[in-house]
Amino acid sequence: MKQRVLSGVRSTGNLHLGNYFGAIKNFLEMQENYECYFFIANLHALTTHPDPELLKKSVRATLVEYIACGLDPEKSTIYVQSDLPEISELYALLNMLAYKGELEKCTSFKEKIKKHKENINAGLLTYPVLMAADILIHRAHKVPVGKDQEQHLEMTRNFALRFNHLYGVNFFPEPEAFDMSGHLVKIPGLDGSGKMGKSESEGNAIFLREDADLIRKKVMRAKTDTGPTQPNQQKPDEIKNLFTLMNLVSKKETLQFFEDAYNNCTIRYGDFKKQLAEDIIQFTNPFKEKISALENDTKYINNIAESGAEKARVSAAKTLDAVHEIMGLKSIWK
Protein backbone atom coordinates (compact mmCIF):
# COMPACT_ATOMS: atom_id res chain seq x y z
CA MET A 1 0.00 0.00 0.00
CA LYS A 2 1.21 3.45 -0.85
CA GLN A 3 1.88 5.81 2.05
CA ARG A 4 -0.34 8.84 2.35
CA VAL A 5 1.17 12.29 1.93
CA LEU A 6 -0.83 15.36 2.86
CA SER A 7 -0.17 19.04 2.62
CA GLY A 8 -2.20 22.19 3.05
CA VAL A 9 -1.46 25.47 1.39
CA ARG A 10 -2.63 28.87 2.44
CA SER A 11 -5.33 30.39 0.28
CA THR A 12 -3.33 33.42 -0.66
CA GLY A 13 -2.99 32.98 -4.41
CA ASN A 14 -0.09 34.68 -6.13
CA LEU A 15 2.52 31.97 -6.10
CA HIS A 16 6.04 33.16 -6.70
CA LEU A 17 9.20 31.49 -7.97
CA GLY A 18 10.20 30.75 -4.38
CA ASN A 19 7.01 28.72 -3.83
CA TYR A 20 7.49 26.93 -7.10
CA PHE A 21 11.09 25.80 -6.62
CA GLY A 22 10.84 25.51 -2.85
CA ALA A 23 7.68 23.43 -2.46
CA ILE A 24 5.55 22.79 -5.52
CA LYS A 25 8.24 20.97 -7.47
CA ASN A 26 8.45 18.52 -4.58
CA PHE A 27 4.69 18.05 -4.64
CA LEU A 28 4.92 17.17 -8.31
CA GLU A 29 7.45 14.47 -7.56
CA MET A 30 5.41 13.09 -4.68
CA GLN A 31 2.32 12.71 -6.82
CA GLU A 32 4.13 9.96 -8.69
CA ASN A 33 4.96 7.79 -5.69
CA TYR A 34 2.45 8.42 -2.92
CA GLU A 35 -1.25 8.66 -2.30
CA CYS A 36 -1.38 12.44 -2.13
CA TYR A 37 -3.86 14.83 -0.58
CA PHE A 38 -3.41 18.52 -1.28
CA PHE A 39 -5.86 21.10 -0.05
CA ILE A 40 -6.38 24.82 0.23
CA ALA A 41 -6.61 25.90 3.85
CA ASN A 42 -9.38 28.49 3.79
CA LEU A 43 -10.67 27.81 7.32
CA HIS A 44 -7.33 28.75 8.79
CA ALA A 45 -7.58 32.06 6.95
CA LEU A 46 -10.68 32.98 8.97
CA THR A 47 -8.63 33.86 12.05
CA THR A 48 -7.96 37.25 10.48
CA HIS A 49 -11.58 37.84 9.33
CA PRO A 50 -11.03 38.27 5.57
CA ASP A 51 -13.72 39.78 3.40
CA PRO A 52 -15.90 36.82 2.23
CA GLU A 53 -15.81 37.73 -1.46
CA LEU A 54 -12.05 38.26 -1.39
CA LEU A 55 -11.59 34.96 0.41
CA LYS A 56 -13.53 33.09 -2.28
CA LYS A 57 -11.54 34.81 -4.95
CA SER A 58 -8.22 33.91 -3.42
CA VAL A 59 -9.27 30.27 -2.98
CA ARG A 60 -10.11 30.10 -6.69
CA ALA A 61 -6.89 31.85 -7.65
CA THR A 62 -4.86 29.48 -5.51
CA LEU A 63 -6.51 26.43 -7.01
CA VAL A 64 -5.92 27.72 -10.54
CA GLU A 65 -2.27 28.40 -9.84
CA TYR A 66 -1.57 25.00 -8.33
CA ILE A 67 -3.24 23.24 -11.22
CA ALA A 68 -1.29 25.43 -13.65
CA CYS A 69 1.91 24.34 -11.89
CA GLY A 70 1.12 20.70 -12.53
CA LEU A 71 -0.81 19.37 -9.54
CA ASP A 72 -2.82 16.71 -11.23
CA PRO A 73 -6.37 15.87 -10.11
CA GLU A 74 -6.00 12.46 -11.73
CA LYS A 75 -3.01 11.60 -9.58
CA SER A 76 -3.74 13.46 -6.34
CA THR A 77 -6.79 14.33 -4.31
CA ILE A 78 -7.07 18.11 -4.49
CA TYR A 79 -9.74 19.92 -2.53
CA VAL A 80 -10.76 22.95 -0.53
CA GLN A 81 -10.70 22.51 3.24
CA SER A 82 -14.17 23.93 3.89
CA ASP A 83 -15.71 21.49 1.40
CA LEU A 84 -15.04 18.74 3.93
CA PRO A 85 -17.25 19.33 6.98
CA GLU A 86 -15.62 16.21 8.46
CA ILE A 87 -12.52 18.30 9.14
CA SER A 88 -14.45 20.80 11.22
CA GLU A 89 -16.05 18.03 13.20
CA LEU A 90 -12.79 16.26 13.90
CA TYR A 91 -11.38 19.66 14.93
CA ALA A 92 -14.18 20.03 17.49
CA LEU A 93 -13.54 16.55 18.84
CA LEU A 94 -9.76 16.96 19.00
CA ASN A 95 -10.21 20.23 20.89
CA MET A 96 -11.27 18.11 23.85
CA LEU A 97 -7.80 16.61 23.92
CA ALA A 98 -5.83 19.83 23.48
CA TYR A 99 -4.66 21.61 26.60
CA LYS A 100 -4.77 25.35 26.95
CA GLY A 101 -1.21 25.41 28.28
CA GLU A 102 0.34 23.62 25.32
CA LEU A 103 -1.58 25.76 22.85
CA GLU A 104 -0.45 28.95 24.54
CA LYS A 105 3.15 27.79 24.41
CA CYS A 106 3.05 27.40 20.64
CA THR A 107 5.51 29.77 18.95
CA SER A 108 3.22 30.78 16.11
CA PHE A 109 0.48 31.68 18.61
CA LYS A 110 2.85 33.80 20.65
CA GLU A 111 4.01 35.61 17.54
CA LYS A 112 0.51 36.19 16.24
CA ILE A 113 -0.82 37.64 19.48
CA LYS A 114 2.06 40.05 19.60
CA LYS A 115 1.23 41.26 16.10
CA HIS A 116 -2.55 41.35 16.46
CA LYS A 117 -3.30 42.35 20.00
CA GLU A 118 -6.81 43.44 19.02
CA ASN A 119 -7.83 40.04 17.65
CA ILE A 120 -6.69 37.23 19.88
CA ASN A 121 -9.47 34.75 19.18
CA ALA A 122 -9.93 31.11 20.12
CA GLY A 123 -9.39 30.07 16.50
CA LEU A 124 -5.90 31.48 16.70
CA LEU A 125 -5.24 29.52 19.87
CA THR A 126 -6.54 26.29 18.39
CA TYR A 127 -4.94 26.75 14.96
CA PRO A 128 -2.69 23.71 15.60
CA VAL A 129 -5.75 21.60 16.43
CA LEU A 130 -7.35 22.46 13.11
CA MET A 131 -4.11 21.60 11.38
CA ALA A 132 -4.03 18.29 13.26
CA ALA A 133 -7.58 17.60 12.09
CA ASP A 134 -6.48 18.29 8.49
CA ILE A 135 -3.77 15.71 8.79
CA LEU A 136 -5.48 13.08 10.92
CA ILE A 137 -8.72 13.09 8.93
CA HIS A 138 -6.88 11.08 6.24
CA ARG A 139 -4.59 9.37 8.76
CA ALA A 140 -1.68 10.71 6.76
CA HIS A 141 1.83 9.33 7.23
CA LYS A 142 3.90 12.10 5.77
CA VAL A 143 3.53 15.86 5.72
CA PRO A 144 5.86 17.96 3.59
CA VAL A 145 6.25 21.16 5.55
CA GLY A 146 8.77 23.90 5.96
CA LYS A 147 10.66 24.58 9.15
CA ASP A 148 8.04 27.06 10.36
CA GLN A 149 5.43 24.29 10.55
CA GLU A 150 7.46 21.68 12.39
CA GLN A 151 6.12 22.59 15.80
CA HIS A 152 2.55 22.30 14.55
CA LEU A 153 3.35 18.85 13.22
CA GLU A 154 4.82 17.85 16.54
CA MET A 155 1.60 18.94 18.21
CA THR A 156 -0.34 16.82 15.72
CA ARG A 157 1.74 13.83 16.78
CA ASN A 158 0.99 14.58 20.41
CA PHE A 159 -2.75 14.75 19.77
CA ALA A 160 -2.65 11.52 17.77
CA LEU A 161 -0.72 9.65 20.48
CA ARG A 162 -2.92 11.08 23.22
CA PHE A 163 -6.03 9.93 21.38
CA ASN A 164 -4.62 6.45 20.88
CA HIS A 165 -3.55 6.25 24.49
CA LEU A 166 -6.71 7.67 26.04
CA TYR A 167 -8.96 5.29 24.13
CA GLY A 168 -6.60 2.34 24.13
CA VAL A 169 -6.47 2.09 20.37
CA ASN A 170 -3.82 2.17 17.71
CA PHE A 171 -5.84 4.25 15.33
CA PHE A 172 -3.96 7.36 14.23
CA PRO A 173 -0.52 6.89 12.69
CA GLU A 174 2.07 9.40 13.88
CA PRO A 175 2.57 11.72 10.93
CA GLU A 176 6.14 12.61 10.21
CA ALA A 177 7.62 15.59 8.44
CA PHE A 178 8.50 14.78 4.89
CA ASP A 179 12.10 15.66 4.81
CA MET A 180 12.49 17.85 1.78
CA SER A 181 15.88 19.12 2.84
CA GLY A 182 17.54 16.75 0.39
CA HIS A 183 15.96 18.53 -2.53
CA LEU A 184 15.01 21.77 -0.95
CA VAL A 185 16.15 24.71 -3.02
CA LYS A 186 16.24 27.96 -1.19
CA ILE A 187 15.22 30.71 -3.52
CA PRO A 188 16.76 34.07 -2.77
CA GLY A 189 14.89 37.33 -3.07
CA LEU A 190 15.77 40.23 -5.33
CA ASP A 191 16.45 42.64 -2.50
CA GLY A 192 19.69 40.94 -1.52
CA SER A 193 17.92 39.06 1.27
CA GLY A 194 18.20 35.33 1.62
CA LYS A 195 14.63 34.45 0.83
CA MET A 196 12.06 35.17 -1.81
CA GLY A 197 8.81 35.93 -0.04
CA LYS A 198 5.67 37.93 -0.40
CA SER A 199 5.93 39.62 2.94
CA GLU A 200 9.51 40.72 2.42
CA SER A 201 10.17 44.06 0.80
CA GLU A 202 8.28 45.24 -2.28
CA GLY A 203 9.87 43.90 -5.45
CA ASN A 204 11.58 41.03 -3.69
CA ALA A 205 9.44 38.28 -5.21
CA ILE A 206 8.57 37.40 -8.78
CA PHE A 207 5.11 35.96 -9.17
CA LEU A 208 4.22 33.28 -11.68
CA ARG A 209 1.53 35.51 -13.14
CA GLU A 210 3.77 38.56 -13.22
CA ASP A 211 3.64 40.80 -16.21
CA ALA A 212 6.80 40.84 -18.37
CA ASP A 213 7.42 44.55 -17.91
CA LEU A 214 7.16 44.28 -14.17
CA ILE A 215 9.59 41.36 -14.19
CA ARG A 216 12.07 43.54 -16.11
CA LYS A 217 11.57 46.38 -13.67
CA LYS A 218 12.00 44.22 -10.60
CA VAL A 219 15.11 42.48 -11.89
CA MET A 220 16.72 45.72 -13.07
CA ARG A 221 16.11 47.20 -9.63
CA ALA A 222 17.71 44.24 -7.83
CA LYS A 223 20.58 45.19 -5.63
CA THR A 224 24.13 44.78 -6.99
CA ASP A 225 27.55 45.90 -5.83
CA THR A 226 30.17 47.89 -7.71
CA GLY A 227 31.52 44.79 -9.44
CA PRO A 228 34.44 42.42 -9.02
CA THR A 229 37.92 43.90 -8.91
CA GLN A 230 39.97 40.73 -8.70
CA PRO A 231 39.77 37.55 -10.75
CA ASN A 232 37.74 34.72 -9.19
CA GLN A 233 36.68 36.89 -6.33
CA GLN A 234 33.97 35.63 -3.97
CA LYS A 235 30.52 36.89 -4.81
CA PRO A 236 28.69 39.04 -2.29
CA ASP A 237 25.25 37.69 -1.29
CA GLU A 238 23.16 39.88 -3.57
CA ILE A 239 25.19 38.79 -6.61
CA LYS A 240 25.20 35.16 -5.58
CA ASN A 241 21.42 35.38 -5.32
CA LEU A 242 21.06 36.56 -8.91
CA PHE A 243 23.32 33.76 -10.09
CA THR A 244 21.19 31.26 -8.15
CA LEU A 245 18.11 32.51 -9.98
CA MET A 246 19.91 32.37 -13.31
CA ASN A 247 20.91 28.80 -12.59
CA LEU A 248 17.22 27.89 -12.28
CA VAL A 249 15.81 29.67 -15.32
CA SER A 250 18.60 30.12 -17.87
CA LYS A 251 20.50 27.86 -20.22
CA LYS A 252 23.76 26.38 -18.97
CA GLU A 253 25.77 28.32 -21.56
CA THR A 254 24.22 31.59 -20.46
CA LEU A 255 25.06 30.92 -16.85
CA GLN A 256 28.59 29.91 -17.77
CA PHE A 257 29.06 33.02 -19.86
CA PHE A 258 28.22 35.31 -16.96
CA GLU A 259 30.15 33.19 -14.44
CA ASP A 260 33.21 33.59 -16.63
CA ALA A 261 32.56 37.29 -17.06
CA TYR A 262 32.32 37.66 -13.31
CA ASN A 263 35.48 35.70 -12.74
CA ASN A 264 37.52 37.74 -15.18
CA CYS A 265 35.97 41.00 -14.01
CA THR A 266 34.38 41.95 -17.30
CA ILE A 267 30.80 41.40 -16.20
CA ARG A 268 28.35 44.20 -16.86
CA TYR A 269 25.57 43.94 -14.39
CA GLY A 270 23.17 45.74 -16.71
CA ASP A 271 23.53 43.04 -19.36
CA PHE A 272 23.50 40.31 -16.77
CA LYS A 273 20.21 41.51 -15.32
CA LYS A 274 18.67 42.07 -18.74
CA GLN A 275 19.42 38.49 -19.66
CA LEU A 276 18.14 37.20 -16.32
CA ALA A 277 14.90 39.14 -16.73
CA GLU A 278 14.33 37.74 -20.24
CA ASP A 279 14.99 34.20 -19.05
CA ILE A 280 12.60 34.59 -16.13
CA ILE A 281 9.98 35.85 -18.56
CA GLN A 282 10.57 32.81 -20.78
CA PHE A 283 10.32 30.53 -17.80
CA THR A 284 7.14 32.02 -16.34
CA ASN A 285 5.33 32.47 -19.67
CA PRO A 286 3.87 28.96 -19.89
CA PHE A 287 2.56 29.29 -16.31
CA LYS A 288 0.96 32.61 -17.13
CA GLU A 289 -0.69 31.13 -20.18
CA LYS A 290 -2.02 28.15 -18.27
CA ILE A 291 -3.27 30.34 -15.47
CA SER A 292 -5.26 32.56 -17.78
CA ALA A 293 -6.65 29.59 -19.72
CA LEU A 294 -7.78 27.97 -16.47
CA GLU A 295 -9.25 31.20 -15.19
CA ASN A 296 -11.46 31.29 -18.24
CA ASP A 297 -12.56 27.72 -17.75
CA THR A 298 -14.66 28.05 -14.63
CA LYS A 299 -16.46 24.83 -15.35
CA TYR A 300 -13.28 22.80 -15.41
CA ILE A 301 -11.94 24.37 -12.21
CA ASN A 302 -15.26 23.90 -10.39
CA ASN A 303 -15.29 20.34 -11.53
CA ILE A 304 -11.82 19.71 -10.10
CA ALA A 305 -12.86 21.17 -6.75
CA GLU A 306 -16.10 19.21 -6.65
CA SER A 307 -14.69 15.86 -7.60
CA GLY A 308 -11.67 16.43 -5.36
CA ALA A 309 -13.95 17.06 -2.39
CA GLU A 310 -16.03 14.02 -3.24
CA LYS A 311 -12.95 11.81 -3.36
CA ALA A 312 -11.55 13.29 -0.15
CA ARG A 313 -14.81 12.87 1.71
CA VAL A 314 -14.75 9.11 1.24
CA SER A 315 -11.54 8.84 3.24
CA ALA A 316 -12.59 11.58 5.71
CA ALA A 317 -15.96 9.98 6.44
CA LYS A 318 -14.30 6.65 7.14
CA THR A 319 -11.98 8.20 9.72
CA LEU A 320 -14.72 10.21 11.37
CA ASP A 321 -16.99 7.19 11.59
CA ALA A 322 -14.28 5.22 13.36
CA VAL A 323 -13.59 8.16 15.69
CA HIS A 324 -17.31 8.29 16.57
CA GLU A 325 -17.21 4.60 17.37
CA ILE A 326 -14.04 4.89 19.47
CA MET A 327 -15.26 7.92 21.43
CA GLY A 328 -18.65 6.42 22.21
CA LEU A 329 -20.71 8.60 19.94
CA LYS A 330 -22.22 5.78 17.92
CA SER A 331 -24.91 3.22 18.59
CA ILE A 332 -26.16 5.04 21.68
CA TRP A 333 -29.82 4.15 21.22
CA LYS A 334 -29.76 0.47 20.53
CB of 144 to ligand TRP, least distance (A): 8
Answer yes or no whether residue 84 interacts with ligand TRP by CB under 6 A.
Answer: no
Q: Which is nearer to ligand TRP, 6 or 280 (CB)?
A: 6
Q: Please, which of residues 12-71 interact with ligand TRP by CB under 6 A?
A: 41, 44
Least distance between ligand TRP and beta carbon 109 (Å): 12
Catalytic residue check, 198: yes
b/e string for 70-92 if b means 16 or more Cβ within 10 A?
A: ebebeebbbbbbbbbebbebbbe
Neighbours of 323 (CB within 10 A): 23
* Choice between 8 and 192, CB closer to ligand TRP: 8
When the beta carbons of 205 and 255 are compared against ligand TRP, the nearer one is 205
Catalytic residue (choose from 105, 110, 198, 330): 198
42 contact partners, CB below 8 Å, separation of at least 6: 11, 55, 59, 80, 81, 82
Does 323 contact ligand TRP by CB under 6 A?
no
Nearer to ligand TRP, 31 or 241 (CB): 31
Stretch 129-158 residues interacting with ligand TRP (CB under 6 A)? 131, 134-135, 143, 145, 149
> Should residue 8 be labelled a site residue for ligand TRP when binding is judged by CB under 6 A?
yes
Check if 223 is active-site.
no
Active site annotation includes 334: no
Residues 202 to 231 in contact with ligand TRP, rule: CB under 6 A: none
Positions annotated as catalytic residues are 112, 195, 198
**Chain contacts with ligand TRP (rule: CB under 6 A):** 6-8, 10, 41, 44, 131, 134-135, 143, 145, 149
